[in-house]
Chain A
Amino acid sequence: MKIGVCLKQVPSTDTQIKVNGAGNGIVTDGVKWETNPYDEYALQAALDLKKAGKATEVVILTIGGADAESRIRDGLARGADRALRLDDAAFAGSDALGRARILAAAVKAEGIGAVFAGRQAIDTDNGATPAMLAEVLGWAQVSWIDKLTVDGGAFTAQRAAGGGFKEVVTGGLPAVFTCDKGLNNPVAATLMGIAAAKKKAIDVKGAADLGVDPSTVGTAGALVVEDGMSPPPPRPAGRRIEGDAATAARELVQLLRNEAKVI
């Protein structure tokens, strides 16, 4: 079985974010990029299955330009076999559903039997593309897993169920899994892995290669329009409470009760 791993580069958590002139995105110049942290759990899950003899090949799927290749190369260095970089002028401005359609076309073209993705990407925090991908493919989905076993075409996974509950679910492949912290401990690339990755292929595929109708993706196909992006309003200046612990605690409780009215 071939496994597809969705991998996205995102601005690193500590990078400064500046809104662009149009108010519909960020200024990307000078941004420090990293692999979406949840995608690292997804990649590790796929690599673990291959190591256990339950998968034959791990293929990275990335929608993005050439600037995404350093993060793809890191995934290859960690042990993925090869990568598809999905890139086309028609893909620009895709919303989550457009991205799901692009990924679905790649999954079909590759004959992939299971997809692993992060539970969300920490740039837009939509967390919507994987379930949309499952729907476009007509596959089962299991969201926010932190345990997984695969036995032939059957799987058992533990997923988040809201309110702190977990659920153990069983089902059959093909399926899309979204991966949460706790599923595994992602292993960084070794020097040997980095050397091996240089010889691994990153194939670039566009709309025509994948048979994607350009009117269903990109700005043309987007159902969601974002604008008016701005930094969050500054929080009103806070108040320092002085005095020893007992005095400060007394004043704080009084403020929480009479001023903020939250106690």
Chain B
Amino acid sequence: MLQAMRAGVFAVCFGLVWHASADQARVPAASGDAVSPPQDTAAPVDAGQPMNLNEPMQGGMKKQGMMKYDVRKSAEEKDEQMKEMLEKEAESMPPMPAQAPRKK
């Protein structure tokens, strides 16, 4: 029975890893790219323009209906969630022993 359980766990692991590799990492062969990179690849732009948050996201990772402001909203929520714990963790750290001043 124990062996059968081990085999079962292995099978589930295999299924999940297979799923992950198939779904997440569609890695192109080293010899050439299977999918073309984004075409917006002009030389780096030096002068920026403010991001228009009230428009749909760019890129291939977005899901339908995602807007640029979603990222800012999620970041603010995450900050709020993590803030207290990060402060507690920081307090738990012992002070750093004296070190040579940083070079500039």
Q: Do A and B bind each other?
A: no
